[in-house]
Chain A
Amino acid sequence: MEESWLYFESPILSLLDLERHLSDFKTDGEGIMSPHRSGADLPIYPRAFIAASKLQRQRDRVFVAMPFEASHSKTLWKLLQSICEIHEFNPRRGDSAQASHSVVADVLEELESAEVVIADLTGLNPNVLYELGIAHVRCDAVVLLCQRGQTLPFDLASIRCLFFDLSTVGGKEELAVNLGRILEELRQPGKPTLIDGSAERTQSVIADLKLLADLPDDELKNEIIWYSGFLSSFSVGEVKAFRDDEQSYQDARLQEREWLLKLARRGCGIRCVITPPAKTTCCPIG
């Protein structure tokens, strides 16, 4: 049976071959059944599989659709495993299944069981794109990842994607922070978070600005960043104005300023309400 399945990969298939091969498969009227399964056979076509499987989504289950053999695959998979572990998710890939099922059926089973699907679009692997298409129809929570520098196809370009750079420790940390935050938000949508510390707060703002920067230019032009406060980070310069104990805060504000400038130069709108010190007297109001 294993052998006959391989024939389907041949571009040349005579009608006689086709007839012989089809006779090896049980059909349920909607799709071809996986020839690898025994007992609880499930179809390998998504629509029939979904109708037959009746699987429940498992809380904490993450399915990662990714290329297995790409140069970054091993590093990314290890990193994703540790990020998921920190945030108490259970990551799995298409090759995680223990049973000797058809890979396609296993993947469909994983897609139907996962609470979150993460798809690595690096290299635009056709299997990943096929799985992503199913995930977008079937799953509420889909997170796109892609190595920085790659252009996404038109259909996916307008969907939020986390671009990563695994060549540096900082790049890995950035992915860990941003993906971790998304996983938490998916688990508890819109749950407010408290950030303790001025520098930490600015780092959080920078992380959000970086996420915004991942949008393509035509999307970014529709976004606006609103600020109100003292003088904004555009007033933070290289001249030492902060106290010695505020150095990390000044550095963070300079980074924030750089990201704001990058975004504005690409067309993102920024609106700042500022309150410069003035030669006026204080008067109680109200």
Chain B
Amino acid sequence: MWHSLRDYSTSKDNLLPDRVSYALERVRALIVFLESGDPALQNIEFVISPFLQKNFHIIGRLCFSEGFRIGLESGYPLTLRQSHPEAITSSTLLHRALFERLRDYTLMEYPPEHSQSSSRENLRLAVLRCLKESQTFCEEEVRVNART
């Protein structure tokens, strides 16, 4: 099931030709961070979604905010911020479920070449693998755009 999701990813849709180099820089920066060995990585986990999800922040039990695009510009110019405990709880419930499903997807779709004993480390390697594929893709897109 997950394999077909990758085939039908909509993520390319989010790339405008003049934003490819921007996307490339951000992919590169994230790769650098994931390979940095920063102690913060002990507490940070990434998973891959084949579809661009809603733009969401849930900050502890303080609040959650959801960003909305109103055009093609970078970022989310309109944001709804909520702090009601019930709203935070329900959003967290949803996000936790989404995250766990996408953890399985990430590990299945981008299995690390050398599996590690730590599941956290396997996930980091899987995400790195995906990001490096993405980097190659963006570099190719930049070259194509330069030619045209």
Residues of A within 8 A of B (CB): 185, 189-199, 201-202, 204-205, 208-209, 211-212, 215, 223-232, 234-237, 239-243, 246, 249, 260-261, 264-265, 267-283, 285
Contact = CB atoms under 8 A, between A and B. Distances in A.
A280 B43 contact: no
A200 B81 CA distance: 12
A277 B137 contact: yes
Given A208-B63, A236-B29, 11 more contacts: A190-B85, A197-B77, A202-B75, A229-B56, A239-B25, A239-B29, A242-B22, A243-B22, A265-B43, A269-B44, A277-B23
A242 B29 CA distance: 13
B49 A201 contact: no
Contacts of B14: 230, 275, 277
B12 A273 contact: no
Q: Which of A199, A230, A270, A281 has the most CB of B within 10 A?
A: A230
Interface string B2-43: 000011111111110000111101111110110000111111
Given A201-B76, A234-B30, A280-B6, A227 B57 contact: yes
Contacts of B23: 231, 277
Contact of A271 (B80, B85, B99, B138): B99
B108 interface: no
A224 to B, nearest CB: 7
Given A237-B32, A261-B40, A270-B44, A278 B75 contact: no
9 contacts: A204-B79, A228-B53, A236-B29, A265-B43, A270-B45, A272-B47, A273-B98, A276-B131, A278-B133
Contacts of A223: 60-61
A272 B49 CA distance: 10
Given A190-B84, A270-B45, A274-B47, A281 B12 contact: yes
Interface of B: 6-15, 20-23, 25-30, 32-33, 38-65, 67, 73-87, 91-92, 95-96, 98-99, 102, 127, 130-131, 133-134, 136-138, 140-141
A195 B79 contact: yes
A282 B13 contact: yes
Nearest to A200: B79
Contacts of B86: 190
Contacts of B136: 279
Contacts of A249: 74-75
Nearest to A269: B43
A228 B30 CA distance: 15
B46 to A, nearest CB: 5
Contacts of B42: 264
